[in-house]
Amino acid sequence: MTYLRPLLVLLLLTSLRAAPFMNASDSFTWPGGAGAAVCLTYDDSLPSQLDIAYPQLEAAGVKGTFFLQAKADTMEQRLEEWRQVGAAGHELASHSLYHPCRRGLPGRDWVAESRDLDHYTIERLRDELLLTNTLLQALDGNNARTFAYPCGDTAVANGQESFLPVTNELYLASRGVSSPQLSSMKELDFNNTPAFDLSHQDLKSTIAYLESCYKSGTVAIFLNHGVGGDYLVTDPQLHQELLDYLAANQDRFWVDTFKAVMTHTRQEFERLDWSVQ
C-alpha cells in the first residue's frame, strides 16, 4: 500500500493550491478590495438636503443619491440647484411624481386623498413614474434610473395589486425602507433593497450597523429625509460624523451612489451566476 502515498500527497497538494483560486472566484467582491459598500440616500427633494446634506457631501468628496419627488417645492423653486447636484456627480433618482402612499394604513391620515395609492391603478402609477423619469432625464441626461418606494409601499388598489413588476421593468434597482440584515449579498432583492433610517439614531447605533455590514461583506444603505431641518430629521452632526468615519476608513468601505453600487452588484451576480430576485 506504500505506493499509494506519493499519489495521495500529490492530490492533497493539488487541492490546497486550487482552494484559494476557487474561493476567490466564487466570492462576491467590492471594488478596491473594500469589505463593504455604502450608499447615502435622501428622499423627498427637501430644502435641507440642498442646504446642509449636499454641502457636507461635497466637502467630504462623497457622492450621494437623491430620490427626487418631481412635484415638490424645491423642484419648482430650486430646479437649477438640483441640476447642479447632478452635474457634480451625485445621483438624481426617482421617488415618484406625487409621492403617493396608502392612506388606509395606520398613521397615514396625512396622505391626500388625491395621492392615495389605495385608489390608484397600475396604469396610473406607471404613467406617473414614466413622467418622472422624463423630467429627471431633462435634468441630468441619463436614461438608466433607480427608485425608492414612497412610504415603502409596493401595492395599489387597497393593497390588492403589487406594482413590483412595474418597478422591476423601469429601474435598475429600487430601495425599500426596512433594514433587515443581509447575511450575504446573495440575499439581496434588487427590487426592494434594505435601508437603515438615520433619523432618531446616534453615532453608536449607526457605526454598529455599518460594521455589521462590513462583517458580512454586504452593503449599508442609509436613508435620510431632512438633514438638520424639515421632517424625519437626521442630526446634521451625526451626518457629518458618519462622513468623517467613512473618510477615516476609506480603505475598508466603498462609498458611492445607489446606482453605481447596484450596477456593480448586478455585474457580480452575473459573474457568479447567481439568480436575481
What's this model's pTM, rounded to 2 decimal places?
A: 0.90
**Region 33-272: CATH code:** 3.20.20.370
Task: Give the three-state DSSP class for 9.
Answer: helix
Within 8 A by CB and 6+ apart from 180, the residues are: 194
- In whole angstroms, what is the distance from residue 192 CA to residue 116 CA? 21
- pLDDT tens for each residue of 138-157: 999 999 999 999 999 999 99
- pLDDT tens for each residue of 153-184: 999 999 999 999 999 999 999 999 998 889 99
How high is the pLDDT of residue 26?
75
The ranges assigned to domains in the chain are: 33-272
Q: How far apart are the first and last CA of the chain?
A: 52
Q: What is the pLDDT along the chain (277 residues), one digit of tens a residue?
A: 444 344 333 333 343 333 333 345 679 999 999 999 999 999 999 999 999 999 999 999 999 999 999 999 999 999 999 999 999 999 999 999 999 999 999 999 999 999 999 999 999 999 999 999 999 999 999 999 999 999 999 999 999 999 999 999 999 999 999 988 899 999 999 999 999 999 999 999 999 999 999 999 999 999 999 999 999 999 999 999 999 999 999 999 999 999 999 999 999 999 999 999 7
The DSSP symbol for 56 reads H
- In whole angstroms, what is the distance from residue 198 CA to residue 179 CA? 11
- Tell me if 213 sits within 8 A of 185, measured CB to CB: no
| Helix runs in the chain, H state only | 5-25, 47-48, 54-60, 73-77, 79-87, 122-140, 164-170, 203-216, 236-248, 258-272
Q: How far is CA 57 from CA 94, 149, 241, 258, in A?
A: 20, 23, 12, 15
